[in-house]
Chain A
Amino acid sequence: MRKLYINGISSISPQNEAIFKGSTPQQYENNILPAQAQDYKSLLQPMMLRRMSKGVKMGLFCAKKALDEAEVKIPDVILVGTGQGCMEDTEKFLSNMLESEEGLLSPTSFIQSTHNTVAGQIALDLNCNGHNMTFTQNSVSFESALIDALLQQNDQNIKNILVGGVDETSNELTGFQRLDGQIKKEGHRNLELYSSQTSGTIISEAAAFFALGSEKLKHSYAEFKDVEIINSLDEKILESRIENFLKRNDLLVSQIDAVILGKNGDIRFDQYYDQLQNGMFSATCQLGYKHLVGDNNAISSYAFWLASKILKEKKIPRIFKLNALNCARPRNILIYNQYLGRNHGLILLQDL
């Protein structure tokens, strides 16, 4: 089987990318976190930019930066994972319908309200006619896109794959997640997320894209080894499922140098992570990221970005650490995420 190298990466989130270099983290008290503003005009044409929602802007901007870093002009494949798609335009379109009593509707927001708008806009911008897929699978949307990436690499003609995750928030629709307890009822400081004793989490908008290639470059970040999705899982067999996943990659638990956990401060479901922290990974360097960038259906793409940075730069910023263990030369990093006790995702990255 051919290898897949991570040759270019880019992320936009509620934190600047410079957080990896030790910059002061952004603090939020609202439970819906906005993505950091970017100079979109530096890479996107103003005439195209004017009708893009934030999710489309973030996705296209990250895609172009990741491809640029990998020195790829047009990828063979474009894969995007997004759980909720273009929420801003969906909300605009629905509001227009209400205001005009289902009369005259602006076509732009309707056209752009579909989940596959981001992947479509990337293809239009790059003039890429290759395989173009969008995966909407709740919190394993990005993992689903990664599975397709692994399938695509079996085709000898596929050299470069663009894969990413993106989810945006909107004024009203995102707030609906308060109604079923997904968002914490009380205001919560993001940096104190892990000490929370209440249900729900903090929701955010973010995007992270990666240029994966069959050829290793001088500046490649890491190798993307494997991914697995488990839609429903009894907590009791979580550890054995992880062991099986590692086993199929010829690894033991002790060979995992760092585990990136999707812990999100929801007292109802953080026990999945607690179990791993106190159990099979108690002697492993443990990292978290949702206290910085919040949670959404494609946020594991941020964990993928973090793992790539760690493996390339061989350092782990203190702000991501969940325990005191150090890891001088990280080689294997496991990413584990679940949401509301469902849709468990495992991703494995390895040093070059």
Chain B
Amino acid sequence: MSDLHTELKKSIIEQLNLEDMEVSEIENDEHLFGDGLGLDSIDALELIVLLEKDYGIKLTDPNQGKEIFNSINTMADFIEKNRTR
């Protein structure tokens, strides 16, 4: 697991107040929404803010979200390719 994967998991746990959840409990390929981690639309807004605040990435096309926020792996890939900080 890369540092970015771990960092992302820590940020998500903290930002979304996932109390009682450990980094090791989130799989890299686990779905973040729906049956996986069970995040919802308000969490999606928080993740958009997280991308901009921590990595300087502004999502211009909301339709991208579904693909980017599929899992920790897809988020990390997107961040690696587009980060400005």
Binding site for B on A (CB under 8 A): 46-47, 49-51, 104-108, 111
A111 — which chain B residues lie within 8 A by C-beta? Answer: 42
Q: Contacts A104-B49, A104-B53, A105-B49 known; A50 to B18 CB distance under 8 Å? A: yes
Number of A-B contacts (CB under 8 A): 26
Cα distance A46–B42 in the bound complex, in angstroms: 16
Cα distance A47–B40 in the bound complex, in angstroms: 10
Residue on B nearest A51 in the bound complex, by CB? B17
Interface residues on B, range: 10 to 19
16 CB-based A-B contacts, threshold 8 Å: A46-B20, A47-B38, A50-B16, A50-B19, A51-B16, A51-B17, A51-B42, A104-B49, A105-B49, A106-B15, A106-B46, A106-B49, A107-B42, A107-B45, A107-B49, A108-B42
Which residues 17-75 in B have Cβ within 8 Å of A in the complex? 17-20, 38, 42, 45-46, 49, 52-53
A108 — which chain B residues lie within 8 A by C-beta? Answer: 42, 45-46
Instruction: Check B17–A104 contact: CB distance below 8 A.
Output: no
B18 — which chain A residues lie within 8 A by C-beta? Answer: 50
Residue on A nearest B38 in the bound complex, by CB? A47
A46 — which chain B residues lie within 8 A by C-beta? Answer: 19-20
A104 — which chain B residues lie within 8 A by C-beta? Answer: 49, 52-53
B20 — which chain A residues lie within 8 A by C-beta? Answer: 46
Residue on A nearest B52 in the bound complex, by CB? A104
A51 — which chain B residues lie within 8 A by C-beta? Answer: 16-17, 42
Cα distance A49–B20 in the bound complex, in angstroms: 12
